[in-house]
Structure 1
Amino acid sequence: MMVQRWAGSTALAAICLIGTPALAQEDAQNAQPGTDQAGRGLQDIVVTAQKRSQNIQDVPATINALSAETIKDRQISSLQDLQSSIAGLKFDPVAGNSNITIRGVGTTFTTGAGENSVSLHLDGVYLSSPQAAGLGQFDLGGVEVLRGPQGTLYGKNSTAGIVNFISAAPSREMEAGATLGYGNFDDVRGSLYVSGPLTESIRLRVYLDAEDRDGYVKNLQTGQELDDLRSHSARVGADADVTDNWSMETRLTYRREGSNGPYRQPYDLNRLSLPIQDTIVTPRRLNSPTLFDGNRTLVLGSWKNTFDVADGVTLVSLTGASKLRVNYNSLDSLAQGNPNDPIFPNLSIPIVQRVRVSTISQEFNLKGDTRGINWLAGAFYYRERNSSTGTVTLDPRLLGSPVALIRRSSDVIIRESASIFADATISISDTTRIFGGARGLYERAKNDLLVTFELPGGLVVSTDCAPNDPRQRLTDWSATGRLGVQHDLSNDVMAYGQVSRGYKSGGFSNNTCRNEYKPETVNALEAGLKTRFFDRRATLNIAAYYYDYKNVSIEQSTILGTSIVGAPKSVLYGLDLDGRVAVNDVLSFDGNLSLVHSEYKRFLSTGGAAFGDLDGTDLSGRALNKAPGASGTFGAQVVVPVSAGTLTLRGEAYLTSGYRLREYNDPALRQKGYELYNAYLTYEPNSTWTVRGFIRNISNTDYVLGTVLQLNGATGLFNPPRTYGVELSVKMQ
Structure 2
Amino acid sequence: MRKFFAPGASLVVVATLLASPAFGQEASAVQPSSGDEAAARQRPENQGVQEIVVTAQRRSESLQRVPIAISAVTADNLAVSGVTSLANMQVAVPSLSVQNVAGYLATHLRGIGSIANGPGFENPIALYVDGVYYANQSFGLAGFNNIQRIEVLKGPQGTLFGRNATGGLIQIITKDPGPVFEANGSVDYGNYDRLEAKLYAGGPVSDTVSADFAVRYARQGKGWGVNEYDGKDVFTVADDIGVRSKVVWEPGQFKFTAIGDYGYRNGTMNALRGTTGSFTIPGVPAPTYSDKWNVNTNADQFVKSRGGGVSLKGEADLGFATVSDLVAWRETHFDSQFDYDGSPLPLIQVYIQQKDVQFSNELQLTSNSGGPLSWVAGIYYFNARGSAVPITVTNASDPLLNPNYPLTSAIISGYQDTESLSGFAQATYKLTDRLSVTGGVRYSREKRNISSQINGVLDLPGNPVIPLVPTVEASRTFKRPSFRAAVNYDVTDDIMVYASFNTGFKSGGFNVTIPTDGAYLPEKLAAYEIGEKADLFGRRVRLNTALFYYDYKDFQVQIPRPVGTGFANAAKSEIYGADIDLTVVPVDALEIKASGTFLKSKFKDFPNAPISSATAGTTVVLGDVAGNRLPYTPDVTFNVAATYTVPVGDNELVLNGGWLHSSSFFFEPDNVIREGAYDQFNASATFRIDDGRYYITVYGNNLSNELVRSLVQSTPLGPRMDVLQSPRTYGVRLGFDF
TM-score, normalized by the shorter chain, greater than 0.5 = yes
Q: Judge which range, 597-606 or 614-623, deviates more.
A: 614-623
**Alpha-carbon distance in structure 1 between the residues aligned to 2:190 and 2:52:** 31
Residues of 1 paired with 2:580 and 2:299: CA distance?
A: 46
Distance (whole Å) between structure 1 residues aligned to residue 563 and residue 659 of structure 2: 43
User: Counterpart in 1 of 2:340?
Assistant: 333
Q: Distance in 1 between matches of 2:377 and 2:341?
A: 50
2:277 paired with 1:269: yes
Whole-angstrom CA distance in 2 between matches of 1:72 and 1:442: 41
Q: Hey, what does 1:654 align to over in structure 2?
A: 660
Q: Which of 468, 475, 478 is residue 476 of structure 1 equivalent to? A: 478
AA of the residue aligned to 1:488: D
Range moving further from structure 2, 607-616 or 375-384: 607-616
Shift of 1:462: 2.1
The reply on whether 1:670 has 2:674 as its aligned counterpart is: yes
Contact 2:407 2:456 in 1 (8 A): no
Q: What do the CA deviations read for 1:529-555 (whole angstroms, capped 9, x no partner)?
A: 111111111111110011000111111
* Residue identity opposite 1:709 in structure 2: S
Q: Could you tell me how far 1:135 is from its partner in structure 2?
A: 3.5
Q: Pick from 132, 146, 166: which aligns with 1:159?
A: 166
User: 2:438 is matched with which residue: 435, 438, 451?
Assistant: 435
Per-residue deviation, residues 369-424 of structure 1 (Å, max 9, x unmatched): 46310011100000111111111111111248996611110121111111000001
Residue 426 (structure 2) aligns with: 423
Match of 2:728 in 1: 722
1:50-199 → structure 2 map (5 Å cutoff): 50-111=57-118, 114-135=121-142, 137-199=144-206
Match of 1:640 in 2: 646
Tell me by how many angstroms 1:208 deviates.
1.3
Distance in 1 separating the partners of 2:645 and 2:684: 12
Alignment partners' CA distance in 1, 2:142 and 2:185:
21
> Is residue 250 of structure 1 aligned with residue 258 of structure 2?
yes
Assess, with a 3 A threshold, how the Cα gap between structure 1 residues 296 and 77 changes in structure 2: closer, same or farther: same
Structure 2: how far apart are the matches of 1:33 and 1:564?
Answer: 45
Using the TM superposition, give the Cα deviation of residue 261 of structure 1 relative to its aligned residue in structure 2, in angstroms.
5.0
Q: Corresponding residue for 2:15? A: none
Give the one of 544, 553, 571 matched to 1:568. Answer: 571
Structure 1 residues 273, 154: closer, same or farther in 2, change over 3 A?
farther
Correspondence 1:500 to 2:502: yes
Q: 1:480 to 1:641 in 2, by over 3 A?
A: same
Q: Whole-Å Cα distance in 2 between the matches of residues 350 and 644 of structure 1?
A: 59
1:703 pairs with 2:702: no
Any residues of structure 2 matched to 1:554-703 within 5 Å, and which?
554-611=557-614, 615=621, 617-666=623-672, 669-687=673-691, 688-703=693-708
Deviation at 1:297, TM superposition (A): 1.1
Check 1:621–1:607 CA distance in 2 against 1; reply closer, same or farther (3 A cut).
Answer: closer
- 1:10 aligns to what? none
Give ranges in structure 1 of 5+ residues lacking alignment.
1-26, 338-345
Per the alignment, do residues 314 and 143 of structure 1 end up closer, same or farther by CA in structure 2, a change over 3 Å counting?
same
Q: CA-atom RMSD, angstroms?
A: 2.3
- Change in 2 beyond 3 A, CA 1:584/1:730: same
* CA contact 2:372–2:430 (8 Å) conserved in 1: yes
How much has 1:514 moved relative to structure 2?
2.8
- In the other structure, the counterpart of 1:24 is none
Displacement after TM superposition at 1:643 (Å): 1.3
Q: What whole-Å deviation, never above 9, does each CA across 1:614-659 have from its counterpart, x for those lacking one?
A: 8553211111001111101111121111114111111111111100
Q: Which amino acid aligns with 1:392?
A: V
> What is the aligned partner in structure 2 of residue 21 from structure 1?
none
Q: Tell me, yes or no, if structure 1 residue 287 matches structure 2 residue 296.
A: yes
Q: SS state of the match for residue 31, structure 1?
A: helix
1:173-194, CA deviations, whole angstroms, 9 ceiling, x for partnerless residues?
Answer: 1222331110111111112222
CA deviation digits over 1:232-260, x for unaligned, max 9? 111111112121x2011121111111003
Give ranges in structure 2 of 5+ residues lacking alignment: 1-32
Q: CA deviation at 1:347?
A: 3.0
In the TM superposition, what whole-angstrom CA distance separates every residue of 1:672-698 from its partner, at most 9, and x where no partner exists? 111111112222112320222221101
Kindly tell me: are residues 298 and 71 of structure 1, through their superposed partners in 2, closer, same or farther at Cα, counting changes over 3 Å? farther
CA contact (8 A) 2:278 2:286 kept: no
Cα deviation for residue 465 of structure 1 reads 4.6
Over residues 680-727 of structure 1, what are the superposed CA-to-partner deviations in whole Å (9 max), with x where a residue is unaligned?
222211232022222110100012111222121211111100011111
Q: Which amino acid aligns with 2:263?
A: R
User: 626-635 vs 107-116, which deviates more?
Assistant: 107-116
Aligned to 1:390: 391
Task: State the partner residue of 1:233.
Answer: 242
User: Structure 1 residue 300 and structure 2 residue 309: aligned?
Assistant: yes
Alignment of 1:444 onto 2:447: yes
Distance 1:120 1:34 in 2: 26
Q: Secondary structure at the match of 2:207?
A: coil
Q: C-alpha distance in 2, partners of 1:268/1:506?
A: 36
Identity within the alignment, %: 25
- Check conservation: 1:605, 1:613, Cα contact below 8 A: no
Contact 2:707–2:727 (CA<8 Å) still a contact in 1?
A: yes
TM-score of the pair, normalised by structure 2: 0.90
Equivalent residue for 1:367? 366
CA-to-aligned-CA distance 1:97-148 (integer Å, 9 cap, x gap): 2221110011231546521010000111111124232237322111000000
Counterpart of 2:363 in structure 1: which amino acid? Answer: F
User: What does residue 342 of structure 1 align with?
Assistant: none
Q: Is the 8 A contact 2:145 2:198 kept in 1?
A: no
- The number of aligned residues is 690
Structure 1 window deviating more from structure 2 (550-559 vs 618-627): it is 550-559
Question: 2:544 aligns to what?
Answer: 541
Partner of 1:354: 353
1:305 is displaced (CA, Å) by 1.1
TM, length-normalised to structure 1? 0.90
Alpha-carbon distance between aligned partners in 1 of 2:259 and 2:41, rounded to the nearest angstrom? 19
Match of 1:491 among 490, 493, 501: 493
| 1:408 match | 411
Q: Which of 557-566 and 545-554 deviates more?
A: 557-566
Matching residue of 2:20: none
1:277/1:378 CA distance change after superposition, 3 Å: farther
Residues 260 and 618 (structure 1), Cα distance of their counterparts in 2 relative to 1, 3 Å cut: closer
- 2:52, 2:555 → 1: CA distance? 34
* Distance of aligned partners of 1:42 and 1:274 in 2 relative to their CA distance in 1, 3 Å threshold: farther
CA change 1:444–1:154 in 2 (3 A) is same
Confirm whether residue 208 of structure 1 aligns to residue 215 of structure 2: yes
Between the aligned partners of 2:425 and 2:39, the Cα distance in structure 1 is 22
How far off its partner does 1:30 sit?
A: 4.9
Structure 1 CA distance for aligned equivalents of residues 57 and 148 of structure 2: 18
- Measured in 2, the distance between the counterparts of 1:31 and 1:643 equals 33
TM superposition shift of 1:70: 1.8
Secondary structure of the structure 2 residue equivalent to 1:57? helix
Matched with 1:5 is: none
> Counterpart of 2:604 in structure 1: which amino acid?
K
Give the SS at the match of 1:396: coil
